[in-house]
Amino acid sequence: MDLINLISEINMDDNYFYVVYVLVIFIILIFINLFQPYLKHKKILKKQRDKG
């Protein structure tokens, strides 16, 4: 109940769209920094496993 009350208290003005843009770009950058090393690591492991 408290959470629902908290969420219903959020009302933002129109300027909030700018915040959303920034948040989206931030999430994209974090995802890039998460997935690029992860995939590269997987590739290296796969390559060494295939080599035997």
Partner 1 sequence: MTSFNKVKDWFISMGSPPFLYKWIMKYLPFMILLSLLLVFISLSWGLFFAPTDYKQGDAYRIIYIHVPSAILSQSIFILMAITGGICLIWRAKVAGMLLRSAAPIGASFTLMALISGAIWGKPTWGTWWVWDARLTSTLILFFIYAAIVGIYSSIEDKTKGDRAAALLSLVGVSMIPIIKKSVDWWQTLHQPSTFTLTQSPSMPPEMYLPLLANVLGFYFLFIALLFLRLRTELALREQRKNWFKQKILGD
Q: How far is CA 7 from CA 2, 3, 12, in A?
A: 9, 6, 12
Residue closer to partner 1, measured from CB, 4 or 18: 18
Does 19 help bind partner 1 (rule: CB under 8 A)?
yes
Residue in 2, 3, 4, 47 binding partner 1, rule: CB under 8 A: 47
Q: How far is CA 2 from CA 8, 11, 12, 29, 45, in A?
A: 10, 16, 19, 33, 47
Residue in 1, 3, 5, 13 binding partner 1, rule: CB under 8 A: 13
Does 31 help bind partner 1 (rule: CB under 8 A)?
no
